[in-house]
């Protein structure tokens, strides 16, 4: 175990947590220890009503430069399965509350995949996204061949995964991989501003909207529209809906409880 924590957790605003990956000497390579700490934090917040949104960031040079390649020499198919690295990545994918990635510098391999598993990506101008795994004789193992083409389309995904060519923030924006590009000093600030805007809104509605948008990737349109209608009907029964409507009519901010 390293002396420095591999992730730092702060509470920059009520209901918001900021997670900073902290292995600057290894460009935040995703060691088993770092992935485990991240998964543990997220799993702990699943049912914690004091947490409504999470921002995930790295450092100035790297969001994360991928899986820790220095752990690879001893890894075999069996260790890959037994260490349940996939399960650690899944903890990010199954987190039910909004997760915003604030990316400066490299987001490569598993780092790009972690960012893609988040709900919104804000990129600093220095951000570089790539899937260079083929250089190591392997392929993206945590969504690069699946989430990336669904987001940027086949041609660019092929370029990134087969030629290992990274893309810069501007290109990531035009391809729809990121929501916004900011000066690098403002990336975390902007991500936190979005998180604060989200946590001021009704948590149940936010949660259901997130769930439905993620489901849209593998739900036929007709079934998705039905699910949307039924989910919305259910939300009409919540206290937060009563509060939101009353706040609008009374011209005041809503005070939402997630009930």
**Binding-site ranges for ligand CAA (CB under 6 A):** 26-27, 29, 65-70, 106, 108-110, 113, 132-133, 135-136, 140-142
DSSP-assigned letters across all residues of 70-135: GGSTT--HHHHHHTTHHHHHHHHHT--S-EEEEE-SEEETHHHHHHHHSSEEEEETT-EEE--GGG
Residue of 105, 110, 111, 244 marked active site: 110
Q: Minimal distance in Å, beta carbon 218 to ligand CAA? A: 21
CB-wise, 61 or 257, nearer to ligand CAA?
Answer: 61
Q: Minimal distance in Å, beta carbon 139 to ligand CAA? A: 8
Contact between 18 and 99 under an 8 Å Cβ cutoff? The reply is no
CA angle 44, 49, 54 (to 5 degrees): 60
Give catalytic status of residue 141 as yes or no.
no
CB-wise, 110 or 244, nearer to ligand CAA?
Answer: 110
Contact between 187 and 122 under an 8 Å Cβ cutoff? The reply is yes
Q: Minimal distance in Å, beta carbon 237 to ligand CAA? A: 42
Residue entry with tokens 């430069």: 65
Give catalytic status of residue 66 as yes or no.
no
The structure tokens listed for 146 are: 């699946």
Q: Minimal distance in Å, beta carbon 214 to ligand CAA? A: 20
Residue of 133, 172, 191, 244 marked active site: 133
Residue of 39, 53, 62, 67 marked active site: 67
CB atoms within 10 A of CB 248: 10
Give catalytic status of residue 113 as yes or no.
yes
Residue with smallest beta-carbon separation from ligand CAA:
109
CB-wise, 113 or 240, nearer to ligand CAA?
Answer: 113
Give catalytic status of residue 110 as yes or no.
yes
Q: Minimal distance in Å, beta carbon 18 to ligand CAA? A: 23
What b/e string do you get for 114-137 counting C-beta neighbours within 10 Å, with b at 16 or more?
bbbbbbbbbbbebbbbbbbbeeee
CB-wise, 59 or 258, nearer to ligand CAA?
Answer: 59
The structure tokens listed for 196 are: 């604060």
Q: Which residues are catalytic?
A: 67, 110, 113, 133
């Amino acid at each position: 175990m390293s002396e420095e924590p591999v992730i730092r957790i702060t509470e920059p605003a009520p209901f918001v947590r900021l997670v900073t990956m902290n292995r600057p000497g290894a460009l935040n390579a995703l060691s088993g220890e770092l992935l485990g700490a991240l998964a543990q934090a997220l799993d702990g917040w699943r049912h914690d009503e004091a947490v409504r949104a999470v921002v995930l960031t790295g450092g100035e040079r790297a969001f994360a430069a991928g899986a820790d390649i220095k752990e690879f020499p001893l890894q075999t198919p069996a260790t890959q399965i037994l260490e349940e690295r996939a399960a650690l990545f899944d903890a990010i994918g199954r987190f039910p509350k909004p997760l915003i990635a604030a990316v400066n510098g490299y987001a490569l391999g598993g780092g790009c995949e972690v960012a893609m598993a988040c709900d919104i990506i804000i990129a600093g101008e220095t951000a570089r996204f790539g899937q260079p795994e083929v250089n190591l004789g392997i392929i993206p193992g945590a969504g690069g061949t699946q989430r990336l083409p669904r987001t940027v389309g086949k041609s660019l995904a092929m370029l990134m995964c087969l030629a290992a060519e990274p893309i810069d923030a501007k290109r990531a924006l035009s391809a729809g991989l990121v929501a916004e590009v900011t000066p690098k000093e403002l990336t975390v600030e902007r991500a936190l501003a979005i998180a604060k805007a989200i946590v001021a809104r009704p948590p149940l509605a936010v949660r259901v909207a997130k769930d439905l948008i993620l489901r849209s990737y593998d739900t036929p349109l007709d079934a998705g529209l039905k699910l949307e209608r039924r989910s919305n009907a259910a939300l009409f029964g919540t206290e937060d809906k009563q509060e939101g409507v009353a706040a609008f009519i009374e011209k005041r901010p809503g005070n939402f409880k997630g009930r």
